[in-house]
Amino acid sequence: MMLRSISFVALRPRTFARYCSSGGKITAPPMVYISGEEMTRYAMELIIEKWVKPRVDISAWEFYDLSCKNRDDTNDQVLHDAVEAGKRIGAIFKEPTITPTEVQRKSMGLKKAWGSPNGAMRRGWNGITISRDTIHIPGVQLGYKRPVLFERHAVGGEYGAGWKPVGRGKLVTQFFPAEGGMEATLTRTDFTVVDERDLNDQENVAVVYHNPLDNVADLAHHFFSRCYEAGVVPYVVTKKTVFKWQEGFWTVMKQVFDEHYKEKFTRAGLLDGSGELQHLISDAATMQIIRWTDGGFGMAAHNYDGDMLTDEVAQVHRSPGFITSNLIGKREDGTLIKEFEASHGTVADLWAAHLRGEETSFNPLGMITAIIGAINHAASLQGGNTMGAMSRSELVKAKKKAVEDEDYDEAKRLKEELVKLDAQASACKVTQFTAMLEKAVHTCFRVGEGTRDMVGPNGLTTEEFIDKVEVRLSRYLRGEEDPVEPDAVIVPERRDDPHYAVDSSAVKNMFDQYDLNGDGTIDAEEFEAMLVKLGVAPLLNVKAREQAAGEREAGQV
- Binding to a second copy (CB under 8 A) within 210-249 occurs at 210-215, 239, 242-245, 248
With H, G, I as helix, E, B as strand and everything else as coil, classify residue 69.
helix
The least CB distance from residue 506 to a second copy, in Å, is 4
Q: Which of residues 126-155 bind a second copy (CB under 8 A)?
A: 141, 143, 145
* Residue type (1 letter), 137: I
Size of the site for a second copy (CB under 8 A): 140
Q: Which of residues 253-292 bind a second copy (CB under 8 A)?
A: 282-284, 286-287, 290
Q: Which of residues 288-307 bind a second copy (CB under 8 A)?
A: 290, 293-294, 304, 307
The Cα–Cα gap between 351 and 341 comes to 19
Site for a second copy in 5-34 (CB under 8 A): none
DSSP three-state, residue 291? helix
Q: Give the whole-angstrom CA distance, residue 549 versus residue 283.
A: 9
- β 336-342/192-199 pair status: unpaired
With CB under 8 A as the contact rule, the residue among 209, 268, 400, 471 that binds a second copy is: 209
SS3 280: strand
Can residue 178 be called a binding residue for a second copy (CB under 8 A)? yes
Smallest distance from a second copy to CB 476, Å = 30
Give the burial class of 366: count Cβ atoms within 10 A of its Cβ; 0-12 exposed, 13-18 middle, 19 or more buried. Answer: buried
Which of 110, 206, 390, 490: binder of a second copy (CB under 8 A)? Answer: 206
Site string for a second copy, 472-511 (x = CB under 8 A): -------------------x-xxx---xxxxxx-xxxxxx
In the complex, what is the shortest distance from the CB of residue 165 to a second copy, in angstroms, rounded to a whole number?
A: 7
Kindly tell me which residue out of 13, 96, 127, 147 binds a second copy, with binding defined by CB under 8 A.
Answer: 96
Least Å distance, CB 42 to a second copy, is 17
Q: Which stretch binds a second copy (CB under 8 A): 12-20, 71-79, 314-322, 445-453?
A: 314-322
| Bridge partners for 235 per DSSP | 278, 299
Residue burial 152-187, b: 16+ Cβ < 10 Å; e: rest: bbbbbbeebeeeeeeeeeeeeeeebeeeeeeeeeee
Q: Which parts of 340-407 fold into alpha helices (H)? A: 348-355, 365-381, 392-404
Which one of 64-72, 97-105, 405-413, 455-463 is the stretch in contact with a second copy (CB under 8 A)? Answer: 97-105
Question: Tell me, what amino acid is at 127?
Answer: G
User: Of these, 48, 171, 418, 490, which contacts a second copy (CB under 8 A)?
Assistant: 171
Q: How far apart are the first and last CA of the chain?
A: 39
Residue 120 is a binding residue for a second copy (CB under 8 A): no
Closer residue to a second copy in complex, CB, 421/522: 522
Q: Which of 15, 99, 255, 274 binds a second copy (CB under 8 A)?
A: 99
Of the candidate residues 10, 60, 161, 387, the single one contacting a second copy (CB under 8 A):
161
Candidate list 8, 107, 111, 172; residue touching a second copy; CB under 8 A: 172
Contact yes or no for 454/496 (Cβ under 8 A): yes
| Min dist. Cβ of residue 223 to a second copy (A) | 18
In 10 A of CB 425, how many CB atoms? 16
334 binds a second copy (CB under 8 A): no
CA distances from 10 to 431, 489, 491 (A): 11, 23, 27
- Residue 490 DSSP code: B
All residues at 6 or more sequence positions from 92 whose CB lies less than 8 Å from its CB, including other chains: 31, 32, 33, 34, 82, 86, 337, 338, 339, 340, 374
Query: Nearer to a second copy by C-beta: 204 or 335?
Result: 204
Q: Which of residues 509-538 bind a second copy (CB under 8 A)?
A: 509-511, 513-514, 516, 520-524, 527-529, 531-538
